Amino acid sequence: MKNKMKRTRLTTCASLSVVVIALTACGGGSSDSSDSAGGSVVVGQNGAVDVSSQGTFAQQMLGAVNAVRATARNCGAEAMPAVPAMTWNALLTQSATGHAQDMASNNYASHTSLDGRTYFDRISATGYQSSFTSEVIGGGQTSVSQVVNGWVNSPGHCVVLMSPYAKEMGGGHAVKKGTKYVNYWALNVGSP
């Protein structure tokens, strides 16, 4: 185990790739709609960006999350009604991407950074002004579909995805070979 950890620490930054999840709107569908793309572009309030030029991966993430929100469901024992689609926010993406990269670089998965910062601290540091923020993370999933399904099947994460207070979102995905999970995901949500 010690040798594996040493090897992981010696892995160069070149093996770390961060994919910023820039998202566009997509309505309807089931919770496994990661192949769904399309719809009109929806942008956030503070930190708004036009995400229409982003790739399929970005469209898949927002499509999958908003498809989950479009259908009433149980998050564990809690019944959650369908809620409106979220929009994309660059500041939330900055926070989520930074956290996904940090988790991959330092081989851990937690809502608290190794330096003690919480998702609230990381989101606030971007300048995002919000009356509500939260976060979901994942580790090990190799696709948008897998990570979103994992969140839906985790009662606490599902409640965050289904929150009527969550109006905007931003996400990050980092990959680092030789770490425990290889794939690290973070999704930050907020309400301006």
Q: Closest Cα to residue 90, out of 44, 124, 54, 27?
A: 44
**Residue 188 one-letter amino acid:** N
Q: What is the pLDDT of residues 79-103, one digit of tens each?
A: 999 999 998 788 998 999 899 999 9
Can you tell me whether residue 78 is helix, strand or coil? strand
**102-144 residue pLDDT tens:** 999 999 999 999 999 999 999 999 999 989 999 999 999 999 9
Q: Is the pLDDT of residue 77 over 60?
A: yes
- Beta-bridged to residue 135, according to DSSP, are 188
Confidence (pTM): 0.74
How confident is the model at residue 57, as a pLDDT? 63
Which residues, other chains included, contact 79 with Cβ-Cβ below 8 Å and sequence gap of 6+? 72, 73
Question: What residues contact residue 4 under an 8 Å CB cut-off, 6+ apart?
Answer: 178
Q: What is the dihedral of CA 15, 185, 32, 61, to 10 degrees?
A: -90
The per-residue pLDDT for 63 is 86
Q: Which long-range contacts (CB under 8 A, 24 or more apart) does 115-123 make?
A: 119/95, 119/188, 122/95, 122/98, 122/188, 123/91, 123/92, 123/95, 123/188, 123/190
